[in-house]
Amino acid sequence: MEKTTPTTTSSQNNKRIAKNTLMLYFRMMLTMLVSLYTSRVILNTLGVEDYGIYNVVGGVVTMFAFLNSAMSSATQRFLSFEIGKGDFVQLRKTFNATQIIHIGIAVIIFILAETAGLWFLKNYLVIPSERLEAAIWVYHFSVFSFMVSIIQVPYNATIIAHERMNVYAYVSIIEVLLKLLIVFMLTWITYDKLKLYGILHFSVVIVIAVIYRIYTRKNFEESKFEVVRDKGLYKTLVCYSGWNLFGNIASVAKGQGVNIILNIFYGPVVNAAMGVAMQIQGAVNSFVSNFQMAVNPQIIKSYAAKERDYMTSLIIRSSKFSFYLLFMITLPVILEINQVLKIWLKVVPEYTPSFTVLVLIIILITCVSGSLKTAVQATGKIKIYQAVVGTLLIMILPISYLFLKNGYQPEVTLYITIVIEILALLFRFFILKKLFNFPIFPFIKEVIFRNLIIVVLSISLPLFIRDLMVENIFRLFVTVFISLVWNAIIILILGLNKSEKKFVTTSIRKILNRESKKCGLDLKEL
């Protein structure tokens, strides 16, 4: 048997991360293009008002997501942790315990949604009386879709924990085709468009869930269902999720909670604008989330294997590269937001440009925290983290309510979010320092400091050139081109250290030599 050294293990892990990142980006490109196209068609087909209704009604359902989200994080963490330890007996027990818990969560959310949630929808949301029946239809099917997604969590978590990211790419092709079919059916079928959209979306959720479940059961032995009677395991999972629960309540309050109070003060048209901004956020953020999804299992597994230096290296590089990827995409969008929205949408709801710019700034701040959150989850010691960060994030909702009540414009909710997200980032540093002596100053130097320099320098040239030209389609193309090229140059010169520069230049050379396949998988220089 060949001896495995830390160097070879690290090289293999890097190769796996690279391969998984490529597969996830293939998935991302498909889903992003279809998502942007379908959003435009759906907005125009439903109309601004119905589109806003759909987003706010879906938001009420999502408010109950805190139960599921808390357990989802636990499922991902514990499955990756057991794989990292190599304990496959415990892995099987963990999978089945999480499955049973998720079924219970689905039942609880169904009861809450069909009682308290339905009551809230009928009595507090601002919905035109003639569209209330359609809104209730959409609400019921949103609840059904959400229940299916909850029960599906252990299966998806297993695929991620085993780093089979190619599966997501393949299934995404099917999902893309189904979503395109929905768009065409909305234009073909003469039925209430809002009701029809809710029904068709539920159908797609069912099909995709079935595909993932079949794959998981055929490929992973631990996914074969069996009743687990280990009370200690249930207690561990639930206790761990308890503090995640608080954190996810905060996350829901920050997102859907704010969306609902915007509806109360400004009506469904503002929800339509926020819905469009969130679509752009999702499309842009997918660049980062796919990269982080490939890295996160390695962070957890390296912690389980007690490889602290490698773990720290992954955290720093994940945060830095995540920001670079996101900033290259967001900068031209921010600079030319009006043109982008005019081209993308026939009808641009009021507040959409300002919402979109502010939302993109928020995800630029939060993307740096992605690997930090995973590191905390890896330790299993999340009490202090969730208590501090969760308390900060949950304050966004009451502060936003007070400002809106006093007559401020809806954008104030996003300004408040920016301030609190910056504070939350600072607190994450000190919490990680306490948990496992995380190197704060190397992170600040390599990530925060480099990012700030890149932002200042990258904005200057494209902004200058943009302001010299008249707003039109030609200016849009020029701004996008200059932003991408100039940003790439700045990142290459100032954003990368010596080893990272060597890796990039070697990769470019290989691409030019028609060896792109090898390039995509060779990360030895890192």
Per-residue pLDDT tens for 62-77? 666 555 555 666 777 7
Among 167-171, 403-407, 434-438, the range scoring the smallest mean pLDDT is 167-171
CA distances from 456 to 18, 200, 366, 461, 468 (A): 29, 45, 18, 10, 19
What is the SS3 assignment for 382-428? CHHHHHHHHHHHHCHHHHHHHHHHCCCCCCHHHHHHHHHHHHHHHHH
> Is 5 buried (19+), middle (13-18) or exposed (0-12) by CB count in 10 A?
exposed
Q: How many CA atoms lie within 13 A of 353 on its CB side?
A: 13
424-483: pLDDT as tens digits: 998 888 888 888 788 888 888 889 999 999 999 999 999 999 999 988 889 999 999 999
For 449, the token pair is: 């400091």
Smallest CA-to-CA distance from 482 within 496, 500, 494, 467 is with 467
The answer to whether 223 touches 155, Cβ cutoff 8 Å, is yes
**What pLDDT shows up at residue 515?**
41
Which residues 6+ apart lie within 8 Å of 128 measured at CB?
49, 268
Among 3-12, 93-102, 205-214, 335-344, the range scoring the smallest mean pLDDT is 3-12
Please state the domain extents for the chain.
6-495
pLDDT, average across residues 6-15:
54
For 483, the token pair is: 């932003």
For 480, the token pair is: 């996008």
The winner for highest mean pLDDT among 79-88, 208-217, 282-291, 426-435 is 208-217
Distance (Å, whole) CA 251 – CA 283: 19
pLDDT, average across residues 153-180:
80
- Helix and strand numbers (H, E) in the chain are 23, 0
* Percent of residues, the chain, with pLDDT higher than 90: 22
Distance (Å, whole) CA 306 – CA 158: 22
361-392: pLDDT as tens digits: 999 998 888 888 888 878 877 778 878 888 89
Which residues 6+ apart lie within 8 Å of 197 measured at CB?
42, 46, 54, 138, 182, 186
**What pLDDT shows up at residue 41?**
81
Which one is predicted more confidently, 393 or 250?
A: 393
233-242: pLDDT as tens digits: 888 887 766 6
Tell me the Cα Rg of the chain.
Answer: 23
